[in-house]
Amino acid sequence: MCLSVPGKLLERNDVGGVLVGKVQFGGIVREVCLDLLPEAKAGEYLLVHVGYAISLVDEEEARKSYEYMELAGMLEGELTAFPDDGPALVVEASPPRDDFAPRGPRGESQ
Amino acid sequence: MKYLDEYRDEKLFRSQLARLKSIATRPWVLMEVCGGQTHTLVRYGIDELLPAGMEMVHGPGCPVCVTPVEIIDKAIALAGRPNTILVSYGDMMRVPGSESDLLQVKALGGDVRMVYSPTESVRIALENPNREVVFFGVGFETTAPANAMVAWQARRQGIKNLSLLSSHVLVPPAVEMLLSSPHNRVQGLIAPGHVCTIMGTGAYETLAAKYKVPIVIGGFEPVDLMEAIVMLAAQLEEGRSEMENQYRRNVREDGNRRARELLFEVYEVCDRKWRGLGEVAASGLRLSAEYREFDAELRFGLEDISVDEPAECISAMILQGLAKPKQCSAFGTRCTPESPLGAPMVSSEGTCAAYYLYRRHSGEMGEDLCVAGEAV
């Protein structure tokens, strides 16, 4: 019920006193009410919940945390490459899995 | 960046998992509060990849699941009224009331309409000035401002034939109830990111300090959840109990102030009955005095409908993280999404539905995953 999806604001219009934005989600464009987020500008990414934009996606924070995770991942990779450094630095290998991709509902394959 | 696919990246996910395995030394028990997070965890099988002994228990954050049967029965009563249109989200259509559900009422001729956004109920009311239109909305703090807009627009535009049947609940009081329970097993919490998008982070900071439990506000994609788990494990291993924000791209300290102002103009805090948990003090929202004329329960005299919960469904244990679906004798047999006994099986965010949909029944997933409290 709290499902919210990020999308890119393409344009904004005043429709009878209601701020309405056209927001692109992948290949789909939908109308979204901007009354809870009137500061949103075209070109920005918004988080949309039940037809309402509720938050601006902070692109700087997203980039920083993503880069941090990538860096941390690279460091882990370097540590695993030198297991002779001692047990404290050894990272246990992940169990092999072919199915990290989401499982489809019963009876379907994705 | 599109802020979605990047957080489903397997390589990044596995690097986070490797970090977790390098820091976790003890069998910590963590809870994800939100049903959307439960869905991702089970769908991607993330809980099965954790280091030995670490366990995810699933929290009460599924609004449809915690909506009492009597509210469903009130919606069903309204949908069966002549000259009335009942408007609601698709999630509500198949939730079983005590004798029927909204889809059955629709099949018998009731005018029940599914909408994507509550704002559509305003349009329906304007298009049908001679009929009563009732918007049936449930949800947590994430959804409440959007539902509040229905009453706000009705009042502003003087729409007399529109009212609300609403059942809104607030997350922090329920989390506090779980943490203060003598049966509590949860040592770290992933807080619901989208609730905090509206409400901000303050309430979770207070809870972390009061109960000395680490809380990480988490997102909903696999990489988000794995990073949140890593952050919780790091705190637990270091003996810290702080509120941290993993979902910084969408959650600010102050949340969305405008949405919150609207929310508390239209609604006021009240005690609320949760399905499975019972009455929780100051855990719900009702229309404020200024907006009470839009309260469908008062307009149509429904206050007296009261129903007991079905006995066989163990949703109370499920919603408190004290049991997992496979511990229910009805799971996957007498209770399926096609024929649910209780809300955790019918809602798309319900724990039982997630386990059923992603093949966690009849041994298909191999080992028994259930490690739950003694209370079952």
Is A81 a domain residue?
yes
The CATH number given to whatever domain includes residue A52 is 2.30.30.140
Inside any domain, residue A106: no
Q: What angle do CA B99, B104, B110 make, to 5 degrees?
A: 115
For chain B positions 6-35, those within 8 Å of chain A (CB to CB) are 6, 10-19, 21-22, 34-35
The type of residue at A102 is: P
Q: List the one residue out of B64, B44, B46, B222 whose CA is nearest residue B140.
A: B64
CB within 8 Å: B91 and A1: yes
Q: Where are the domains of chain B?
A: 1-358
Q: Of A37, A57, A77, which one is at a domain's C-terminal end?
A: A57
Residue B258 vs residues A66, B140, B186, B253: alpha-carbon distances, Å? 28, 17, 33, 14
| B79: CB partners within 8 A, 6+ apart | B86, B102, B105, B106, B110, B111, B112
CA-based nearest distance B42→chain A, Å: 9
The mean predicted confidence, pLDDT, of chain B is 90
Asked, for residue A70, whether it belongs to a domain, the answer is: yes
B62 interfaces chain A, CB cutoff of 8 Å: yes
Conformational region of residue B166, where left means phi above 0, alpha means psi within -120 to 50, and beta covers everything else = beta
Residue A13 lies in a domain: yes
Chain A residues in contact with B11 by the CB 8 A cut-off are: 73
- DSSP state, B117? S
Same domain, A53 and A66: no
**How many domains does chain A divide into?**
2
- pLDDT, average across residues A78-97: 40
Express each pLDDT in B38-68 by its tens digit.
999 999 999 999 999 899 999 988 888 888 8
The answer to whether residues A76 and A44 belong to one domain is no
Is pLDDT at B93 greater than 50 in this prediction?
yes
A29 in the same domain as A52? yes
Cβ contact, residue pair A51, B250, below 8 Å: no
Confidence band for A87, pLDDT divided at 50, 70 and 90: very low
Is pLDDT of B362 > 70?
no
Rounded mean pLDDT, B87-94: 90
pLDDT digits (tens, 9 = 90+) for B138-186: 999 999 999 999 999 999 999 999 999 999 999 999 999 999 999 899 9
Cα(B220)–Cα(A26) distance, integer angstroms: 18
Predicted confidence at residue A98, as pLDDT, reads 47
| Whether A12 and A53 share a structural domain | yes
Q: Which of B2, B13, B192 sits opposite A2 (nearest CB)?
A: B192
Nearest CA of chain A to the CA of B374: how many Å?
30
The ipTM, to two decimals, is: 0.89
Q: Is residue A107 part of a domain?
A: no
Give contacts of A6 with chain B, Cβ < 8 Å: 2-4
Shortest Cα distance from B140 to chain A (angstroms)? Answer: 7
Record: contact A50-B89, CB cut-off 8 A: yes
Asked whether residue A102 is domain-assigned, the answer is no
In a domain, A105, yes or no: no
pLDDT of A81 strictly over 60: no
Distance from CA of A11 to the nearest CA of B (A): 18
Contact across the interface for A73 and B6, Cβ inside 8 Å? no
For B231-267, b where at least 16 C-beta lie within 10 A, e where not — what string?
A: bbbbbbeeeebbbbbbbbbbbbeebbebbbebbeebb
Q: Are residues A51 and A18 in the same domain?
A: yes
B52 lies within 8 A of chain A by CB:
no
Which residues in chain A touch residue B36, judged by CB atoms under 8 angstroms apart? Answer: 1-3
| Closest CA of chain B from A57, distance in Å | 5
DSSP-assigned letters across all residues of B279-325: EEEEEEEEE-GGGGGGBHHHHTT-TT---PPPSS--HHHHHTTS--G
Q: Which domain holds residue A38?
A: 5-57
Helix (H) or strand (E) segment spanning residue A76: helix A59-81
The total of other beta-carbon atoms located within 10 Å of residue B26's CB is 11
Specify whether A76 is located in the same domain as A37: no
| Å between A40 CA and nearest CA of chain B | 13
Q: Are B186 and B214 in contact (CB under 8 A)?
A: no
Answer whether B250 sits within 8 Å of A80, measured CB to CB.
no
User: Who among B45, B195, B259 is closest to A2 (CB)?
Assistant: B195
Residue written as token pair 């699933």: B58
Please report the DSSP string for B327-370 in residue order: GSTTBTTTBBTTB-SSHHHHSTT-HHHHHHHTT-STTTTSS---
The domain covering B1-358 belongs, at the CATH homologous superfamily level, to: HypD, alpha/beta domain 2 (3.40.50.11740)
Same domain flag for A64 and A51? no
Q: What is the pLDDT of residues B286-295, one digit of tens each?
A: 999 999 999 9
* Preferred mutation among B8, B38, B88, B119 to probe A, highest tally of A CBs within 10 A: B119
